[in-house]
Structure 1
């Protein structure tokens, strides 16, 4: 199935060249990330298939938001080529651009600041690693550890900008501790549970250089198998075909 395009309501994504396939995490993050401040420029770090940038392009096209450009960076050559292909095939190809670069290379070469930075970063911290090197690079946090990611974000984010990411719930405290060292503070947090009785699995975090009261919410995906909650349907219905 992974060799076939993943079809959303307004765009399709080819993913056969990417180690990491389309998953719930990216759709949640793309749908949840706030566009309330009308960002002029957006950056997706570790773009993979380009799904986050494409979701934000769809959302911004639906309302009068003055987004001029959505940039993405991807270090893996195959994923980069796939991302470019997906961007060019989308209705918003004129606003989407992917750079084949590491985060450090991008920071060193780009002087621009972004109003919104988004990332679904690699986040395995377990000791074991799978044998697939591409998947290693895409998923393990020694490819782009939180410290490296947040340091880069702190240099690329505009003074009033926001950074939005999804990470394992167990990594939330460590992530926010690192962010605080770069004067980035949590403004919104969403805890995601698979079912009402399961443990919190993911944290969606919005941080900025502005300290504020934290808006804390919880999202439950299913009440039982394939019985999605109204909150989850409301968040993702603009993207999934069958939602």
Structure 2
């Protein structure tokens, strides 16, 4: 049996789901800016529940909801929520995002998602993992359209996506009157190309905050900026 992934204040069981704990989720959960008075949060595509648990640790939000379509991932999220010290604030819906948008009247002050996207190894992946990481299961436009319907007037939404999709994603967001407020471009090492874009949007065209983040100086030798970002979560940071 696969051992749980232990963080400083919670553990993630990941034996049932194809989507394991990964750097992308930890980056988004650590990076997203959270209003100190926030009441509710929504995590789209919870996987193991990692990001929702990180936001429970980081905030005083009374309601932290998640959505997960995959049966095994849903069960894993519920298990991880129930085993955490914030179980009374966490809830997972077993539904597609498209279904959720049509049925929920609530507005959320913060929405986060590490959405599915294409990978070069798509055909080599198991069917379950491929569905979890393949953008056909939730197209960016559907994600942004639904998000725009669900966030409150003064709320915000944050995503991590492949850097190659950045321009397209920002253009799609603009079509739904979501303005880019913060962006951090992520590189694995100093000399490697930019791999991911962390982005936070709202309905307000605020001054754009731009930055870059490099994760490692060399293998397992992490930059101080990365350590500062994730130190509240990783045991060895």
What is the TM-score normalised by the length of structure 2? 0.97
Structure-2 residue corresponding to 1:157? 151
Q: Decide whether the 8 Å contact of 1:125 with 1:141 is kept in 2.
A: no
- Distance in 1 (CA, whole Å) between partners of 2:94 and 2:27 is 25
Would the alpha carbon gap of residues 131 and 32 (structure 1) be closer, same or farther in structure 2, given more than 3 Å must change?
closer
- Distance in 2 (CA, whole Å) between partners of 1:144 and 1:17 is 21
- Distance in 2 (CA, whole Å) between partners of 1:68 and 1:121 is 24
Structure-2 residue corresponding to 1:5? 4
Structure-2 residue corresponding to 1:134? 128
Q: Decide whether the 8 Å contact of 2:122 with 2:130 is kept in 1.
A: no
Show CA shifts across 1:62-85 (max 9, x none): xxx4x1100000000110001000
Q: CA deviation at 1:37?
A: 5.1
5+ unaligned residues in a row in structure 2: which ranges? none
SS at match of 1:221: strand
What is the TM-score normalised by the length of structure 1? 0.95
- Distance in 2 (CA, whole Å) between partners of 1:94 and 1:185 is 33
SS at match of 1:48: coil
Structure-2 residue corresponding to 1:68? 62
Q: Which runs of 4+ in 1 moved over 2 A?
A: 125-131
Would the alpha carbon gap of residues 204 and 98 (structure 1) be closer, same or farther in structure 2, given more than 3 Å must change?
same
- Distance in 2 (CA, whole Å) between partners of 1:189 and 1:53 is 21
Structure-1 residue corresponding to 2:77? 83
- Distance in 1 (CA, whole Å) between partners of 2:125 and 2:221 is 35
Q: CA deviation at 1:128?
A: 4.7
5+ unaligned residues in a row in structure 1: which ranges? none
Of residues 180, 184, 208, the one that matches 2:178 is 184
Would the alpha carbon gap of residues 221 and 157 (structure 1) be closer, same or farther in structure 2, given more than 3 Å must change?
same
Q: Decide whether the 8 Å contact of 1:117 with 1:162 is kept in 2.
A: yes
Q: Aligned pair 1:198/2:197, yes or no?
A: no
Structure-1 residue corresponding to 2:161? 167
